[in-house]
Amino acid sequence: MQEKANSTILEVVQLTKVFCDFWRRPKVRAVDGLNLSVRRGEIFGLLGPNGSGKSTTIKLLLGLLHPTEGSIRLMEGRPGDVAVHRRIGYLPEVSHLYRYLTPRETLLFYGRLFDLSARERRARTDQLLEMTGLTAAADRAVGEFSKGMARRLGLAQALLNAPELLILDEPTSGLDPMGCRQVKEMLRALADQGTTILLTSHLLADVEHICDRVVIMYNGKPRAAGNLRDLLATPDRMTLDLPVLDAATTRRLLQTIRETCDCEAELSRPSMNLEEFFVRVVREATNGASAAPEAATPRMAAFLEK
């Protein structure tokens, strides 16, 4: 069991994708010699600025593009295998949904593609609609949805098969801070239950909160990779976390530190980041009522709980 937990779910070796023009001349080298391996149960971040090759890498992993060079091993199979697709969930950068369908019909349709029984389809659809806060809009056409709502529905369809590997391309793009927070909490909860998550983002705060390991790409090449804590650690500095002290005590404490350690020490009052503040304000405004789905902490769908 432990062995399975530490096993590699995705292995990419020297992955290269070159886009050519009509005359087959190389136009863009979108991914260039990428190596990465993702372990079961971790949240792996693929970071980089726009045009760095993150989305192309994802599409290569899903078999939506064919690699020019290199190999991909995905859950003991290859990208594009039907058996592999049965075990993965995918949320694209833009939720390409059928605009004439309602969210309920959308989820029921994708449920059929996973060959779920009618009863199972309906149950999972209801749970996911509730989890993503779309129950009230379940019978409205998707074409009328805001970007954030479409994103929530996109996430719901990615979770429909309770995937072992969840591939998310910019999962928080288009979501409001509440939505971002909910998605991050949900991803963390999924990872805690053993789901492997591979996500791309250029919103570093999102990644910092939830990712275990990351690779940073630029111009198609990996520039840095590793455990997020190790990468972000500053080995020559320390932080002392204290309750608020009066001014005299503070001065004495600083004096003691300077004399004892013979180094410069500074004291500052930590501040909340804007996201935390926003979430607090909205939660207070709704009095923490669970009836307001936009503000509530998402309740995990029952079928996703392992």
Q: Using H for helix, E for strand and C for coil, what is the string for 211-223? A: CCEEEEEECCEEE
Q: Give the nearer residue to other proteins in terms of CB position, either 68 or 297.
A: 68
Q: Give the nearer residue to other proteins in terms of CB position, either 29 or 209.
A: 29
Contacts (CB under 8 A) with other proteins, residues 51-80: 59, 62-66
Q: How many residues bind other proteins (CB under 8 A)?
A: 32
Query: Per CB under 8 A, does 242 bind other proteins?
Result: no
Q: Give the nearer residue to other proteins in terms of CB position, either 110 or 145.
A: 110
- Closest approach of other proteins to the CB of residue 116, in Å: 8
Beta bridge partners of 69: 16
What is the total residue count of the chain?
306
- Closest approach of other proteins to the CB of residue 187, in Å: 19
- Closest approach of other proteins to the CB of residue 265, in Å: 53
Write the interaction track for other proteins spanning residues 90-109; mark x where CB under 8 A is met and - where it is not: x-x-x-xxx-xx---x---x
Q: Give the nearer residue to other proteins in terms of CB position, either 168 or 214.
A: 168
- Closest approach of other proteins to the CB of residue 17, in Å: 10
- Closest approach of other proteins to the CB of residue 66, in Å: 5
Q: Give the nearer residue to other proteins in terms of CB position, either 199 or 279.
A: 199
Binding other proteins (rule: CB under 8 A), the pick from 52, 157, 182, 196 is 157
Q: Give the nearer residue to other proteins in terms of CB position, either 105 or 275.
A: 105
Q: Using H for helix, E for strand and C for coil, what is the string for the chain? A: CHHHHHCEEEEEEEEEEEEECCCCCEEEEEEEEEEEEEECCCEEEEECCCCCCHHHHHHHHHCCCCCCEEEEEECCECCCCHHHHCCEEEECCCCCCCCCCCHHHHHHHHHHHCCCCHHHHHHHHHHHHHHCCCHHHCCCCHHHCCHHHHHHHHHHHHHCCCCCEEEEECCCCCCCHHHHHHHHHHHHHHHHCCCEEEEEECCHHHHHHHCCEEEEEECCEEEEEEEHHHHHCCCCCCCCCCCCCCHHHHHHHHHHHHHHHCCCCCCCCCCCCHHHHHHHHHHHHCCCCCCCCCCCCCCCCHHHCC
Binding other proteins (rule: CB under 8 A), the pick from 1, 82, 233, 238 is 82
Q: Which residues bind other proteins (CB under 8 A)?
A: 19, 21-23, 59, 62-66, 82-83, 85-86, 88, 90, 92, 94, 96-98, 100-101, 105, 109-110, 112-115, 141, 157
